[in-house]
Chain A
Amino acid sequence: MNETYDLRIGESHIEVHKFRGGAIFVATAVALLLQASVPVYLSKFSVLDLPLLLTIYFGLSRRNPSTGLLLGMTIGLLQDSLSGPTVPLGLYGIAKTIIGYLASSIGARLDTEHPIARFALTMVFFCVHQAVILVTRRILLAQPDPLFTLRLVISAGVNAIIGVFLFMALDKLRKN
């Protein structure tokens, strides 16, 4: 199987990365497990959205919108199903589907390997993700929430910082 190949858009050459067998599945399962377990012991951990970070990372790396959105949908639905009856199935699913699509699309056009680019993209994607959830809640579930809060900004920053380091660690799962 081809490990990496060039995606030619205009003059630029952007690498599309493949991962070790089962890496995406294991990483996703671990992220969901941690997201569902760690806040019990460490409440501050709930600021992090590990499934979202994985969606962004794999979207940016695979650079295939279809794969990205399907992966996002799967991760989102699993997160929904682990979030309890207060979160209907599809809430995170829709948000992460969109993020997966956007990350893959942007990843196919930009070099997203640099930490600063990753930091900025993660912040933006986090805000978009929250916005989608907010809109979904507001329109489909009639649950209005405030749009802009300090917590959103802090969470976006924290997720972006953690994301930079997490992405570096996940880079190790790539095939050479």
Chain B
Amino acid sequence: MVAIPSRHKSLVLLAGVILLQVLLLAVQIKRDSQGRLIRVWTVGAVSPFQRAGASGIGGIRGIWNHYFALQNASRENERLRSENDTLKLQINQLQSRAAEADRLARLLNFRQAHQNVPMLGARVIGTSADTQSQTVYLDRGERDGIKRNMGVITPDGVVGKVIEAYSNTSQVLLLSDKDSGVGAMISESRIQSPVGGVGEPLLSMKYVPNDDEVNLGQHVVTSGMDRIFPRDLPVGTVSQIKAGNPFKQIRIRPSANLERLEEVIVLLSLQPLDLKKDAGTPAAEATPSGKDTATPPKAEKP
């Protein structure tokens, strides 16, 4: 037998081992076998550790995600809250602008419907410091043609009258003030009676005899008798009726939202106006001066 030199033993071993593995490869290719048995053993030996590892990693991930990563979640939460607050603010601003646009559109429509009546849009800029009186300040004054006793309305109805006109502002006494009053009548029955404030949200219709029939929900409009407001402007609706002595105690819910006034219309005339008539008639019939709506009319005391 040929003795293999000791320094070549490892080379022979290498050649033998490689040859063996090449044969193993060849067998797999030839038989289309994948050495399934060896794989089953190996995988079977390793898989419990892999399963345990996966379970451990899952646990570590869970701890990480639920505890340590919460720091990021907290930061993100703060960021989202901040973003949410900003968006809420933007939504409020947009809603406010949309509401303002709606109000202005209604004012514009009202003006266009009564183009021949001199009137001026004004913005409510303040209210009285006195909690007992119901007055507001407008951003228009004498320079814009506003004078005392001019009527103030909204497209919804009567608001009040100007009680003081300054150069750039004016003060309006609201219909709900206890010193305020407007000549009114019930639209359906034409029963006339002044309506005034009592310092509360609801107005009071005075001097309606108990014999006269008044029903809830009936509309109250201006009568034009006060020579401030034209006839048939909405004042409110009957909301409470009680028998009194000698007159009924009738409460009117104002048509105009007197508690949330933002834009109003000042009727720039101290002469009786007829809005319905003016809507379709020449300006001369409505305004003695016949001037444009932007132009202040002549000052004439009623």
Which A residues are within 8 Å of any B CB, using their own CB?
32-33, 36-37, 40-41, 64-66, 69-70, 73, 77-78, 80-82, 85, 88-91, 93-94, 97-98, 101, 104-105, 136, 140-141
**Chain B, 21-57, contact with A by CB distance < 8 Å: what is the 0/1 string?**
1101110110000110011011100100110011001
Q: Residue B10 at the A interface, CB < 8 A?
A: yes
In the complex, besides A69-B10, A77-B38, 17 extra interface pairs with C-beta distance below 8 angstroms are A65-B11, A69-B13, A73-B17, A78-B42, A81-B41, A81-B42, A82-B42, A85-B34, A88-B34, A89-B28, A89-B34, A94-B18, A94-B22, A94-B25, A97-B21, A98-B18, A136-B25
**Chain B, 263-298, contact with A by CB distance < 8 Å: what is the 0/1 string?**
000000000000000000000000000000000000
Query: What is the total of A-B residue contacts with beta carbons within 8 Å?
Result: 88
Q: Residue B190 at the A interface, CB < 8 A?
A: no
Q: Are A97 and B18 in contact (CB under 8 A)?
A: yes
Q: Are A33 and B38 in contact (CB under 8 A)?
A: no
- Number of B residues whose C-beta is below 8 Å from A? 27
Q: Residue B125 at the A interface, CB < 8 A?
A: no
Q: Are A90 and B46 in contact (CB under 8 A)?
A: no
Q: Residue B299 at the A interface, CB < 8 A?
A: no
Q: Residue B241 at the A interface, CB < 8 A?
A: no
Contact residues of A: prevailing secondary structure: helix
Complex: A93 Cα to B20 Cα, angstroms = 10
Q: Residue B87 at the A interface, CB < 8 A?
A: no
Q: Which residues of B contact A40 (CB under 8 A)?
A: 54
Complex: A41 Cα to B43 Cα, angstroms = 19
Give the residue name and chain of the A residue nearest to B36 (CB): A85
Given contacts A33-B46, A65-B10, A101-B10, contact A89 B24 (CB under 8 A): yes
Q: Residue B261 at the A interface, CB < 8 A?
A: no
